[in-house]
């Protein structure tokens, strides 16, 4: 029973981290944001991947910087590892169980992570429009 409770707590914490990361990506206008739930797969290196695109190396860096900043200041977590921060093709931000992949829009198709982990549950994360009119009663 205790293990089940711990698993639920871990899942809630991971989902809160995923939500914060997705929000951070959308803040910097990251494109085509999806998350893959790999937790049910035996051969995965993490429980979740978050994948998005940037339009240029500076855009990708801005996304990565915003993710690390918001997660540090709002969740108190530092990435275990960051890779490719100056790369024009791909940046990785590693939070152990949640890996953030930021691709240049021209390189995402080359790596095809969504296809490689095709057995994982995929969730598309659309940005919330800024100009939603309020309903009148």
**φ and ψ at 63, to 5 degrees?**
-65, -50
In this prediction, residues 3-32 reach a mean pLDDT of 93
Residue 10 confidence class, pLDDT cut points 50, 70, 90: confident
Cα separation, 90 vs 80, in Å, equals 17
pLDDT at residue 102 tops 50: yes
First to last CA, the chain: 48
pLDDT tens figures, 37-94: 999 998 888 999 999 999 999 999 999 999 999 999 999 999 999 999 988 999 999 9
Estimate to the nearest angstrom the gap between the alpha carbon of 40 and the chain centroid. 18
Domains and CATH numbers, the chain: 12-114 (3.30.460.10)
């Amino acid at each position: 029973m205790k293990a089940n409770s711990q698993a639920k707590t871990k899942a809630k914490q991971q989902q809160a981290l995923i939500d914060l990361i997705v929000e951070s990506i959308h803040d910097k206008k990251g494109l085509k944001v999806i998350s893959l739930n790999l937790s049910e797969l035996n051969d995965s290196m993490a429980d979740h991947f978050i994948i998005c695109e940037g339009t240029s190396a500076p855009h990708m860096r801005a996304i990565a910087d915003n993710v690390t900043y918001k997660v540090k200041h709002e969740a108190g977590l530092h990435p275990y590892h960051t890779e490719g921060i100056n790369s024009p093709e791909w940046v990785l931000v590693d939070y152990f169980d949640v890996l953030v992949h930021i691709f240049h829009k021209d390189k995402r198709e080359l790596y095809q992570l969504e296809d490689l982990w095709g057995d994982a549950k995929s969730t598309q994360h659309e940005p919330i429009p800024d100009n939603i009119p309020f309903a009148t009663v």
